[in-house]
Amino acid sequence: MSDAASEVVGDGKVVSIEYVLTDPSGEELDRSGEAPMAYLHGGHGIVPGLEEALHGKTVGESLRVEVPPGKGYGEKGKVKPQRVLRSHFPPDAPVEKGAQFLMRGEDGRPIPIWITKVMGREVYVSPEHPLAGVTLCFDVTVKAIRDATDEERAHGHVHGPGGHHHHDDDDDDDDGDDDD
C-alpha cells in the first residue's frame, strides 16, 4: 500500500512542480503555467541542478534552489553561432531571435538550437541555450508524485497533462497509456 503522502521524488517518478525562475538579480525569467509542470525524474527533462535538489523531496515541500550554469544550461561562450540560410527553415517558421528549433544530428538525434541573430537571409544559430551562463534561482514546490508508466519510461518523458507536447511526427500514442 502506498498512499500519496509517502511518495518520494526519485528515478522513474513523474513529479509535478510549481516554480518561479529568476536570475540572481531577482528578475523573473520563467514560471510554471496554470497547471504544474510534470517531468520524469531521472530523465534529464529539467536542468541537472534542479533535478538533484528535488531528489528525495515529498509532496508539499517547497525549496529555493540556486543552480550554477554548470548544472543549469551550461557555461556561456563555448561555441560560436553558425550561419544558416533562411531558406533552410520552413517558410512559415517563426525565424526570430530566441526561437528554438530542432536539427537532426549526424546520428539522427534531434539537437535543439536557438536563433541568436537574423540578418536578412542569414540566420545565426547556436546550440547554446539563451540562459547559458546564467545562475538560475528556482522557487519550487512539489505538487504531486506518481509512478511513470512503462511507456513514459521508454520514451524518457511524461505524457498527459502538464507533460510532453507530444511528438509531432512518427508516433501517435495518446491513447496508449494505461496507468500501471
What is the binding site for Zn ion (CB under 5 A)? 155
Query: Is 151 within 8 Å of 177 (Cβ atoms)?
Result: yes
Other CB atoms within a 10 A radius of the CB of residue 1 amount to: 3
C-beta nearest to Zn ion: residue: 155
Q: Which residues contact 169 (CB under 8 A, 6 or more apart)?
A: none
Tell the smallest beta-carbon distance from residue 159 to Zn ion (Å).
6
For the record, the C-alpha cell of 73 comes out as 544550461
Tell the smallest beta-carbon distance from residue 155 to Zn ion (Å).
3
Residue type, 17: I
- Residue number, 76 or 146, with CB nearest to Zn ion: 146
- Residue number, 129 or 155, with CB nearest to Zn ion: 155
- Residue number, 18 or 147, with CB nearest to Zn ion: 147
Tell the smallest beta-carbon distance from residue 2 to Zn ion (Å).
25
Tell the smallest beta-carbon distance from residue 92 to Zn ion (Å).
25
- Residue number, 81 or 160, with CB nearest to Zn ion: 160
Q: How far apart are CA 149 and CA 7, in angstroms?
A: 16
Query: Is 17 within 8 Å of 158 (Cβ atoms)?
Result: no
For the record, the C-alpha cell of 157 comes out as 518523458
For the record, the C-alpha cell of 36 comes out as 504544474
